[in-house]
């Protein structure tokens, strides 16, 4: 029996053993005898902390006098800004949006039974890399509420800060490298059990890095300070 025949026989025997011992979740994606190749998946995961926070504090007022609503909103804005500065945030980290007051009776679809004619809202944004300080401040807004400020106008602000990972590129390369190492280990193990040796790389798909929260959600809605990064890379190797 020549060398090629012995190799094919060994691969046939080894493949049965390997296929029984491996599953897709363990790394084996596909084994093909026709061209003596194996396709494996490499998995890498990492939990990291967010490095940037955006917190929108929205507030609202309603009344029957335009000037009264506008003045109340302006006073609320100053109180919100004062609260944030007391928490250590600087002018560079704060952004006060223009106040908005709407005349509900001036709309085309206005109804005459509205309780208040004027509805107004305002927003103050915090944008900073001091993530922990934002999280702490978001739990300390009770004095604002007790002072009569209606936080959470138009559905915003009530859900809390949104956390981002802006240093993603610094983490991307090591994560992909780990997935590549994991795939190579799976391929080496499969080749050894199949009685072969791992040959050159034929194809590679590094895959996309998926970012989710660590709170069990399947997507990152920004509410979680901790982010979970996960990548599955696919590689096809020749077997010799």
**How many CB atoms neighbour CB 73 within 10 A?**
21
Q: Indicate the length of the chain as a whole number.
A: 240
User: Could you say which of 105, 136, 164 is where a domain stops?
Assistant: 164
Among residues 151, 222, 145, 233, the alpha carbon closest in space to that of 185 is found at: 233
Do 116 and 143 belong together in one domain? Answer: yes
User: Could you say which of 164, 195, 220 is where a domain stops?
Assistant: 164
**Number of domains observed in the structure of the chain:** 2
Give the range of the structural domain holding residue 75, as residue numbers without chain letter. 52-164
Q: Is residue 1 part of a domain?
A: no
Q: Is residue 105 part of a domain?
A: yes
Global confidence as pTM: 0.77
Do 133 and 78 belong together in one domain? Answer: yes
User: Could you say which of 119, 149, 164 is where a domain stops?
Assistant: 164
Q: Which residues contact 162 (CB under 8 A, 6 or more apart)?
A: 53, 54, 55, 56, 222, 223
Residue 129 near residue 52 (C-beta atoms within 8 A): yes
Do 82 and 160 belong together in one domain? Answer: yes
Q: At what angle do helices 3-21 and 168-193 cross, to 10 degrees?
A: 120
Do 34 and 60 belong together in one domain? Answer: no
Give the CATH number of the domain where residue 17 resides: 3.30.110.170
**In a structure prediction context, what are the per-residue pLDDT tens digits for the chain, which is 240 residues long?**
444 344 444 444 344 434 434 443 456 555 555 568 889 999 999 999 999 999 999 999 999 999 999 999 999 999 999 999 999 999 999 999 999 999 988 866 766 677 889 999 999 999 999 999 999 999 999 999 999 999 985 544 446 899 999 998 899 999 999 999 999 999 999 888 888 889 999 999 988 899 998 877 778 889 999 999 999 999 999 988
Do 61 and 144 belong together in one domain? Answer: yes
Do 138 and 85 belong together in one domain? Answer: yes
């Amino acid at each position: 029996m020549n060398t090629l025949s012995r190799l094919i026989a060994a691969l046939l025997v080894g493949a049965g053993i390997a296929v029984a011992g491996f599953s897709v979740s363990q790394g084996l994606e596909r084994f093909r005898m026709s061209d003596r190749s194996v396709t494996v998946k490499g998995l890498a995961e990492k939990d990291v902390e967010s490095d940037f926070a955006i917190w929108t504090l929205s507030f609202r007022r309603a009344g029957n006098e335009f000037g009264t609503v506008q003045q109340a909103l302006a006073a609320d804005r100053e109180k919100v800004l004062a609260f944030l500065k007391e928490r250590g945030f600087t002018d560079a980290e704060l952004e006060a949006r223009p106040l908005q007051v709407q005349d509900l009776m001036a709309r085309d679809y206005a109804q005459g039974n509205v309780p208040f004619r004027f509805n107004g809202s305002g927003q103050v944004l915090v944008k900073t890399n001091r993530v922990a300080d934002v999280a702490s401040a978001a739990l300390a807004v009770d004095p604002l509420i007790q002072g009569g400020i209606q936080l959470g106008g138009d559905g915003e602000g009530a859900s809390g800060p949104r956390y981002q990972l802006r240093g993603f590129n610094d983490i991307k390369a090591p994560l992909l490298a780990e997935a590549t190492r994991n795939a190579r280990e799976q391929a080496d193990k499969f080749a050894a059990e199949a009685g072969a040796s791992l040959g050159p790389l034929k194809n590679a798909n590094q895959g996309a890095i998926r970012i989710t929260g660590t709170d069990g959600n399947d997507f990152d809605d920004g509410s979680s300070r901790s982010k979970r990064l996960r990548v599955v890379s696919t590689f096809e190797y020749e077997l010799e």
